[in-house]
A = this chain, B = another copy of it.
Amino acid sequence: MKLKVYADRMSQPSRAVIIFCKVNGIDFEEVRIDITKRQQLSTEFKEINPMGKVPAIVDGRVKLFESHAILIYLACVFPGVADHWYPADLFKRAKIESVLDWHHSNLRQGAVTYVVNTVLPPALGLPLNPQAAAEGEKVLFSSLSKVESFWLKGSGLFLLGGNQPSIADLSLVSELMQLEVLDENDHNRILAPYKKVKQWIKDTRYATNPHFDEAHKMLFKAKARLQKQPSVGTNSETQSSLKATLPSKM
């Protein structure tokens, strides 16, 4: 039975899993769980993931959720996945796990909190929460500094000094791509101080294309809709299509 990937491409961990499968030639069926329609909270989907979040996979009798656990599982059980994604070497592997664990309460928390409290409230017709946005921004900047000065300090193109990407590059870059939905000036302001980070995003994209661009098409469409918004909270189509997007992500 073919691997099933339950995902919404508006969700950054969903995109990481989809890109990983495509880059590694893993045969899978993508099952769209439309988080704008709250399908992740349906009884059917909760049979797959009781936490009501995407992505999740079903592989034979195995049901699994949490994108990092999924990426590790896929790297270990599918033949033909190149070693650099999740090396057999226990020392390299431990370092990758350290990045992935760090990500949860740092880059992810900062990026999600910032996006949820800046670009989304106007699109959803909700009031802004400047304090929450400021807290998110603080965590985001602190995390970007750590990526720039520590995780990318090696001589290679990727995290931990690697010359080829690992699942950590895929997870963290997918997260940063979510910042694309921000206003162009704000996006530039946030990333401008981090030259290595900007280059690393390009390198990860390059290493995983055409799948990277293909998986991000939906995000760029959402971005275009957001940029077109004439004023705060007036575009009901955008509001409807974005509603509940972020709280539903993993």
Listed in ascending order, the chain A residues whose CB lies under 8 Å from chain B are 50-51, 62, 64-70, 72-73, 76-77, 90-91, 93-95, 97-98, 100-102, 104-105, 108-109, 146, 149-150
Question: In whole angstroms, what is the CA distance A163 to B165 when docked?
Answer: 38
Q: Complex: how many Å from CA A105 to CA B139?
A: 15
Candidate in A76, A77, A101 with the most chain B CB atoms within 10 angstroms: A101
This chain: how many copies in the complex? 2
Known: A64-B98, A72-B94, A105-B109. 14 other contacts (CB 8 A): A50-B146, A50-B149, A51-B102, A51-B150, A62-B91, A66-B98, A69-B94, A69-B101, A73-B90, A76-B90, A101-B104, A104-B104, A104-B105, A105-B105
The one of B62, B67, B69, B98 in contact with A69, judged by C-beta atoms closer than 8 angstroms, is B98
Closest to A150 in B: B50
Given A90-B77, A104-B101, A105-B105, A95–B146 Cβ distance below 8 Å? no
Nearest B residue (CB) for A77: B90
Q: Report Cα–Cα, A96/B146, bound state, in Å.
A: 28
Q: Which residues of B contact A72 (CB under 8 A)?
A: 94, 97
